[in-house]
């Protein structure tokens, strides 16, 4: 089974650092069963020459096709720049920038319309987790953001992102199984589900061996080349 290792650099990495990272990446061999994806900031998309074993992804795109939308970036341009994947609905965009599930769905459809794969993020905030309402919350968020064609789902508990706290392994497995069942009911029986939230070189292996986990979405740890390499090695 393919394991996805997605690096979400967020608003980190300058041009020189990014080029040095990608040059180092060219020197390592990545097993065929691993799908590595690097998602840098928009201006770096055209500046990085990735090795053939790593795909290019974007962290966001516009929910509109093209036109007078100052500061937005269209899916068609991302496709022209060589992106194969686009992250949509990351919790930082949902919480800090007010993205609704409807906007996320529209973005996912834009990505699909331009031949790329959306990586659709969902996740519950801490109060919902504490109240034991994770499943209900995720189901609703997923149903509202669900595109009509194939995508990759990333389960990222909001309280786990950037905090160093992760759910217990059995909790990750239970949530992924639940999401698999929800997706199956909707006709998406084979959608890969990734885990994201404080994945590091230390915990990647135990998370990646969980049967329902098809990969990881990595933020903070993905800007360190050594840590990213350890995470890739953990997937084999």
> In the set 217, 223, 231, 235, which binds ligand PGA (CB under 6 A)?
217
Q: Which pair of structure tokens corresponds to residue 102?
A: 């409807």
Candidate segments 55-63, 102-110, 190-198, 205-213, binder of ligand PGA by CB under 6 A: 190-198
- Does the active-site annotation cover 49? no
* CA neighbours closer than 13 Å in the CB half-sphere of residue 235: 26
Rounded Cα distance, 63 and 72, in Å: 9
Angle, helices 225-234 vs 15-25, to 10°: value is 40
Q: Could you say whether residue 215 binds ligand PGA (CB under 6 A)?
A: no
Tell me if 119 sits within 8 A of 151, measured CB to CB.
Answer: yes
Residue 211 C-beta: closest distance to ligand PGA, Å: 22
Residue 123 C-beta: closest distance to ligand PGA, Å: 9
Q: Could you say whether residue 192 binds ligand PGA (CB under 6 A)?
A: no
Rounded Cα distance, 165 and 167, in Å: 7
Q: Could you say whether residue 197 binds ligand PGA (CB under 6 A)?
A: yes
Restricting to residues 128-167, which ones interact with ligand PGA according to CB under 6 A? Answer: 156, 161-162
- Does the active-site annotation cover 114? no
Q: Could you say whether residue 8 binds ligand PGA (CB under 6 A)?
A: yes
Q: What is the DSSP letter of 160?
A: G
First-residue to last-residue Cα distance in the chain: 11
The site for ligand PGA (CB under 6 A) is made up of 8, 156, 161-162, 196-199, 217-221
Residues classed as catalytic? 90, 156
């Amino acid at each position: 089974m393919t394991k996805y290792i997605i690096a979400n650099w967020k608003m980190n990495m300058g041009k020189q650092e990014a080029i040095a990272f990608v040059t180092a990446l060219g020197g390592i061999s990545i097993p065929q069963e691993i799908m590595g994806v690097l998602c840098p900031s928009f201006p770096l998309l055209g500046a990085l020459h990735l090795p053939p074993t790593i795909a290019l992804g974007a962290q966001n795109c516009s929910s509109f096709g093209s036109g007078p939308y100052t500061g937005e970036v269209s899916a068609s341009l991302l496709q022209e720049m060589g992106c194969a994947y686009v992250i949509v609905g990351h919790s930082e965009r949902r919480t800090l920038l007010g993205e609704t599930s409807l906007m996320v769905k529209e973005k996912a459809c834009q990505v699909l319309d331009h031949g790329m794969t959306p990586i659709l993020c969902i996740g519950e905030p801490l109060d919902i987790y504490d109240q034991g309402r994770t499943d209900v919350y995720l189901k609703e968020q997923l149903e509202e953001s669900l595109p009509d064609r194939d995508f990759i789902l990333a389960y990222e508990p909001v309280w786990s992102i950037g905090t160093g706290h992760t759910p217990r392994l059995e909790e990750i497995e239970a949530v992924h199984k639940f999401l698999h069942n929800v997706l199956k009911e909707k006709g998406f029986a084979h959608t890969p589900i990734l885990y994201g939230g404080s994945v590091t070189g230390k915990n990647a292996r135990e998370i990646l061996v969980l049967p329902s986990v098809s990969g990881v979405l990595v933020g903070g740890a993905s800007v360190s080349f050594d840590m990213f390499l350890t995470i890739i090695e953990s997937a084999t």
